[in-house]
Amino acid sequence: MKQTINILLILCAATLLSACIREDRSDCSNTFVRLEYLADGTESVLNEYIKDVDLYIFDRKGYRLKSYTMTELPDGTLKLNLQPEEYTLITVANANKHTYIMESTTDKREYFYVQHPNWFSAGDVVETHDHNYIGEVKIKLVNDEFHHYDTLMFRSAHVNMDIQIEGLPAPAQGAATRASIPYTLRIEQSTARINFYNQLSAIGEEIVEPTLIYDAENQCYRTTDLALFRLDQNGVVTRTSCPHQVVLLDAQGNEMTRFSLYDYLQQNADKIDVTKQEADVPIAIKFSTLGVEIVLPGWKIEDITPDWG
């Protein structure tokens, strides 16, 4: 009986060894990291917000060892084969058309940044940012650990902006391109990049010029799918973290209005919370015979007004 057991163990070991010497090492995974994103709730909603992931593996001294791009995460779990050591795993989600990951020439984590590919590109416009998320987990594998399980939590790296402009003449009939809209919306002094700690970079500002469309039903111009990097630093909003200036120009490039985004947030702090993971910043720029008002859109006021029915 003992001889039979020994033979079975040898056969099992041979099977495992053969699986781990093939080019496909998926059967050799010893580290399983579950990816989660809670948004502003208590349960993971990963698949609703995160479509693809760039993974960076750093050693205990903060140097990049490997990096991968994963376009599919069917079960929301990273399966890795790692040697006994301490690691930091960094993930950047949704690095698509409007995202460029600036990698360090020294492979040091401190010098990896997420930014727009058009930043510092002369003549190219930064229209928006992708809806990026950054995750991090530190893991330590010991020699006698056969399988290691951990969880990596994503945090939002952006805010959603919704700006509408009311009281201005409609564009010429049939106008449907960016060039045909007679106004330009600019967000100046916008944070140009964030680092791999999901912190705003102290170096680098940009001008964002979002595409405006004319909403004939509501008779206003508005942005679509506009995202900026975070307006807070570690949950606190200051003029340093939010120096943005919102500017509207006419067809000749003359300023029609300009205002501080920070001041607007302070005036509406009871209604807009940019420290949320899925933070929304709605703004209405209203022109009338009396001048210009910067206010909350009507639909936002309706959303927050209690129904005493």
Q: Could you read off the pLDDT of 83-101 as tens digits, one per residue?
A: 999 999 999 999 999 999 9
- Average pLDDT over all residues of the chain: 88
Phi/psi of residue 180, nearest 5 degrees: -85, -15
Q: Which of 20-29, 129-138, 274-283 has the lowest mean pLDDT?
A: 20-29
Amino acid, res. 82: L
Instruction: For residue 115, count other CB atoms closer than 10 A to its CB.
Output: 23
210, 257: one domain: yes
> Using alpha carbons only, what angle is made at residue 168 by residues 163 and 173, rounded to the nearest 5 degrees?
100
As given in the structure block, the two tokens for residue 309 are 């029915």
Closest by CA to 225, choosing from 163, 169, 166, 171, is 163
Average the pLDDT over 204-225 and give the result.
Answer: 94
pLDDT at position 274 is 97
Provide the pLDDT confidence category of residue 233 given band limits of 50, 70 and 90.
Answer: very high
Q: Which of 49-58, 144-153, 218-227 has the lowest mean pLDDT?
A: 144-153
> Which DSSP symbol is given to 267?
H
Question: Is 25's pLDDT higher than 70?
Answer: no
pLDDT at position 300 is 62
Q: Which of 15-19, 123-127, 176-180, 250-254 has the lowest mean pLDDT?
A: 15-19
Question: Which H or E element spans position 300?
Answer: helix 298-304
**Domain that residue 41 falls in:** 26-94+131-156
40, 79: one domain: yes
CATH of the domain at 181: 2.60.40
In a domain, 119, yes or no: no
CATH of the domain at 62: 2.60.40.2100
Phi/psi of residue 44, nearest 5 degrees: -70, 135
149, 165: one domain: no
pLDDT at position 28 is 82
167, 281: one domain: yes
Q: Which of 126-135, 171-180, 292-301 has the lowest mean pLDDT?
A: 171-180
> Using alpha carbons only, what angle is made at residue 247 by residues 132 and 242, rounded to the nearest 5 degrees?
45
150, 242: one domain: no
140, 203: one domain: no
More confident residue, 177 or 111: 111
267, 202: one domain: yes
pLDDT at position 299 is 67
Bridge partners, 150 (sequence order): 33
196, 219: one domain: yes
296, 184: one domain: yes
Question: Is 9's pLDDT higher than 50?
Answer: no
Provide the pLDDT confidence category of residue 103 given band limits of 50, 70 and 90.
Answer: very high
pLDDT at position 20 is 47
Question: Could you please report the per-residue DSSP string of 242-264?
Answer: ---EEEEE-TTS-EEEEEEHHHH
In a domain, 6, yes or no: no
Provide the pLDDT confidence category of residue 120 given band limits of 50, 70 and 90.
Answer: confident
pLDDT at position 172 is 81
Q: Are 90 and 49 in contact (CB under 8 A)?
A: no
Q: How far apart are CA 184 and CA 179, in angstroms?
A: 9
Provide the pLDDT confidence category of residue 10 given band limits of 50, 70 and 90.
Answer: very low
Q: Are 79 and 26 in contact (CB under 8 A)?
A: yes
